[in-house]
Chains A and B, each alone.
Chain A
Amino acid sequence: MHFALLVLRNAFRHKLRTLLTILGIVIAIASFGVLRTIVDAWYAGANASSSARLVTRSSVSLVFPLPITYAEKMRQVEGVKSVAWANWFGGVYVSERNFFPQFAISGASYLDMYPEYTLKPEERKAFLADRVGAVAGRKLADKFGWKVGDQIPLRGTIYPGTWNFTLRGIYEGRETATDESQFFFHFDYLNEFIKKKYPRRGDQAGVFIEELKDPEQASPVSLAIDATFRNSLAETLTETEKAFNLGFVAMSEAILLAIQAVSYVVIVIIMAVMANTMAMTARERYGEYATLKALGFRGGFVARLIFAESLGIALAGGALGIALTFPAVKAFSNLVGQILSAFYVTNETIRLQVACALVVGVVAAAVPAWRAARIRIVDGLRAIG
């Protein structure tokens, strides 16, 4: 009890200094949390993927399409439950700043494969019945204020011209990690246009998605699919949905590593600030520590005093910092909008934040505590500020 009171009194002896230090830790811990969340958001797509789905693309690269006749052959591969396909559209909505992913999908077969995109039955029916119908995610619809029935014009970059779609449904994510910023429309509508304009490029899909009967069979089935098309004009590469999504993440790996490194730099910066505070505090109090020792307290007690004060300040800052992370992430997610979708603070981030606050507290107290514990009473009493 007396110990706690002494620590508390000590901590607030220089109110301004302590408050500034806490403020610094709050900012450091909060920005650490925001940076980690940004990195997590990158991996969100991969983490949200289902182990029961495979993705097949051209073995050359994603730029090369595959004939949709492949779907029938894939369905015959042992272990495949159903097959769907999609095409990246890459259109521009009003301005290039409004980027969001758009896919031309194979209608019902695609929607059935993604039960995590929950769509009202009547909206699903309306979408499937309308050739120029489209479905958008909740977040995307909210961003642009779209309502069911709205006309949405997209300017094609890969497929020239202006395309008008009628929004027939808005899907919601079943889980927090589900991407609610996608836009889907009918592959048949796109294909019809391509066949008319570029007959050679018709009936081709960007990727095929296969649902597995048994997720355990992912690797034999993907090998079997690729074997089916070996030595054909368009060879395939099949991988699990997770591996496919991680492939995209790997492309930005250099940047992600940099962000991760920087998120630890801020902790080091604040460690220097905190260590400085504790060093100054201890130096000013050498006389008091010597007095305590002269009264019969052991070096360990003095060290504990300093550690308790340092940890107390660090953890107070850490707790406030964690609390501040949530509104900060929200603000950031509103700012960057559609580039990255799923922003949410994971438990691991919070655990790391607590760990960082602890480490800062301990490291900052180490040298002053060691010195204070070993100080000779005579030297300590002689010391001035």
Chain B
Amino acid sequence: MAIPVSYIARNLFARRLTTALTAGGMALVVYVFATVLMLAAGLEKTLVSTGRDDNVIVIRRGAQTEVQSGVDRQQAAVIESLPEIAVDAGDVRLVSKEPVVLINLPKRATGKPANVVIRGVTEAGLALRSQVKIVEGRMFRPGTAEVIAGRAIADNFRGAGLGETVRFASRDWTVVGVFDGGRTGFDSEIWGDAEQMLQAFRRNAFSAVIFRLADPSRFDAVKATLEDDPRLTVEAKRETKFYADQSQALANFISYLGTGISIIFSIGAIIGAMITMYASVASRTSEIGTLRALGFSRAAILAAFLGESLLLGLCGGIIGVAAASVMQAFSISTTNFQTFAEIAFSFALTPKIVVVSLVFSLVMGFVGGFLPAARAARLKIVDALRAA
């Protein structure tokens, strides 16, 4: 026969201060754990959703990012003439030759400079990214010194808001529109006319050529065609893979560091639970004796104390996850080491993170409660009754 759950719960409630302190410690650990996982998930979500599976990005062989890459006009023309490129309803071939550079802009809040991606695009470039929508102002006019800024850039950088001007490449550029990249990496970019950018930066090579495949399953064939062409020194990647690769190092860094920290912190919380549970067993020795005398088995006692500890862990876990879920309202902006450019992303709470965090809190409760519960179960009835 098992000891009722209400008995277990009331024990926790009877010693409110101790329960609150112990669960509070666990809640903090779970909070840190969940927050870090949310951060890594948010970054991955941002960069993975930046790409589309049927888009192909072509950069110079060996280059890891668009900024490092260079594809000159002759090579770009060869790529542009591929027959596999899709054509949209308006008879526009969906291929975009884009210069991508980094410029320094000061942040609004601190005035400290950070690297911002400037991308030269054409009309097709916009059509290739269906998730990008202009939400304020209008599109830039081709052939002018007008640019549009991503949401995160417009909010966070001086001179990048609607109607303001940013100065780079010895010119002033007016921000005529703000676009929403649908929480993708494009939110952290400034877009202008491709040819204008090439002139302003005095370049004659594009950074990347991006195109839509008419038939997405032909990717491998197209990749082989491009990479075997003796006129080209390029490599082709699916856009999704390209952006996922770029988030790898930062996402790994965040999750390794965070998981390491959480595990070490959890030892502290487990010790807290252990102390609480040992004390709980010690102060209720005679009660345990009574329960045994009433006929509850050792297993029932073990289950009761383990249950108490698990409940303690669960309380901490729920509070921790609840606190972490508030973080969804915030976003973080930092430099991605791989691209050397600023990227904004938010904390993403996925169902998986909720489950993992709660399991983590239960594990803490279990590990912390096991030894004390075993001690309680091993008590001899006579000794326990005499202890009072």
Interface residues of chain A, those whose CB is within 8 Å of chain B, are: 16-17, 20-21, 23-24, 27-28, 31, 35, 59-64, 90, 96, 155-158, 160-161, 198, 200, 231, 233, 235, 237, 247, 250-255, 258-259, 262, 265-266, 268-270, 272-273, 275-277, 279-280, 284, 339, 385
Contacts and interface: CB of A to CB of B under 8 A. Distances in A.
Contacts of B342: 251
Contact of B278 (A17, A251, A252, A254): A17
Contact of A280 (B29, B68, B261, B275): B275
B82 interface: no
B278 to A, nearest CB: 6
Given A64-B201, A269-B269, A272-B272, 18 more contacts: A31-B265, A60-B201, A61-B115, A62-B102, A63-B115, A157-B63, A160-B60, A160-B233, A253-B112, A253-B334, A254-B333, A269-B25, A273-B21, A273-B268, A273-B272, A275-B21, A276-B17, A276-B22
Given A61-B104, A160-B60, A233 B202 contact: yes
Contact of B32 (A59, A64, A233, A262): A262
A60 B113 CA distance: 11
Contact of B64 (A35, A157, A250, A253): A157
A266 B169 CA distance: 47
Contacts of B257: 259
Interface string B191-217: 000000000011010000000000000
B103 interface: yes
Q: Is the interface of A mostly helix, strand, loop or mixed?
A: helix
B103 A60 contact: yes
Contacts of A155: 62
A272 B17 contact: no
Nearest to B25: A272
B260 to A, nearest CB: 9
A269 B62 contact: no
A275 B104 CA distance: 49
Best-buried of B62, B102, B204 by chain A (most CB within 10 Å): B62
27 contacts: A17-B275, A17-B279, A20-B275, A27-B268, A31-B265, A60-B103, A60-B201, A61-B115, A64-B201, A157-B64, A157-B68, A160-B61, A160-B62, A161-B62, A231-B170, A250-B114, A251-B342, A254-B332, A254-B333, A262-B261, A265-B32, A265-B265, A266-B265, A272-B21, A276-B18, A276-B276, A385-B283
B62 A156 contact: yes
B268 A28 contact: yes
Given A265-B28, A266-B268, A279-B18, A60 B168 contact: yes
B274 interface: yes
A24 B276 contact: no
B382 interface: no
Interface string B13-28: 0000110011011001
B169 A60 contact: yes
A20 B273 CA distance: 10
Nearest to B203: A200
Nearest to A16: B278
A184 to B, nearest CB: 21
5 closest A-B pairs by beta carbon, nearest first, are A251-B335, A273-B272, A272-B25, A24-B271, A276-B21
A235 B170 contact: yes
A64 B265 CA distance: 44
Interface string B163-198: 000001110000000000000000000000000000
B279 A280 contact: yes
B62 A27 contact: no
A316 B1 CA distance: 45
A255 B43 CA distance: 13
B22 to A, nearest CB: 6
A253 to B, nearest CB: 7
A269 B364 CA distance: 14
B87 interface: no
A385 B283 CA distance: 7
A275 B169 CA distance: 60
Contacts of A279: 17-18, 21
B21 A23 contact: no
